[in-house]
């Protein structure tokens, strides 16, 4: 059974940092490129960052230099370190394979950047 469980969100002031984690079970993680996505209120879900099984990363322009995606292949974990957070980063953050497996979205974790 495939399961994706995100954690680590919260309320943070502009300029602050948060570290998100995603525990992936089942075949969705093994050898797959993984990604972090986010959905802000009233907007479509968007891709934020990806990481291949070999560790190659890619980021959307709006988070380059501020966010870092990483993974632990032995533990089926994907991380997103978010620094210099801005109010525009406020969203529910999800992890999934890239391209995403549409049947397997988790509950996400809320990130709110506000003073």
**pLDDT over 80 at 107, yes or no:** yes
What percent of the chain has pLDDT above 90?
89
Q: Are 18 and 82 in contact (CB under 8 A)?
A: yes
Phi, psi of 91 (to 5 degrees): 180, 170
pLDDT in tens, 6-18: 999 999 999 999 9
pLDDT at 28: 80
Q: Cα dist. 35→9, 41, 101, 114 in Å?
A: 16, 20, 11, 25
Q: How far apart are CA 78 and CA 115, in angstroms?
A: 28
Rounded average pLDDT over 15-25: 96
Residue of 76, 66, 71, 59 whose CA lies nearest to 111: 66
Mean pLDDT of 24-41: 89
| Region 79-91 average pLDDT | 98
């Amino acid at each position: 059974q495939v399961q994706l469980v995100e954690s680590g969100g919260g309320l943070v002031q502009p300029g602050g940092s948060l570290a998100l984690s995603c525990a992936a079970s089942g075949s969705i993680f093994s050898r797959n490129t993984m990604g972090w996505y986010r959905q802000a209120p009233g907007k479509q879900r968007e891709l934020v960052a990806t990481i291949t099984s070999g560790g190659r990363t890619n980021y959307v322009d709006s988070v380059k230099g501020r966010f870092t995606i990483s993974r632990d292949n032995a533990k089926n974990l994907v991380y997103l370190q978010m620094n210099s957070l801005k109010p525009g980063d406020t969203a529910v953050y999800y992890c999934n394979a890239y391209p995403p497996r549409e049947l397997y979205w988790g509950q996400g974790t809320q990130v709110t950047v506000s003073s």
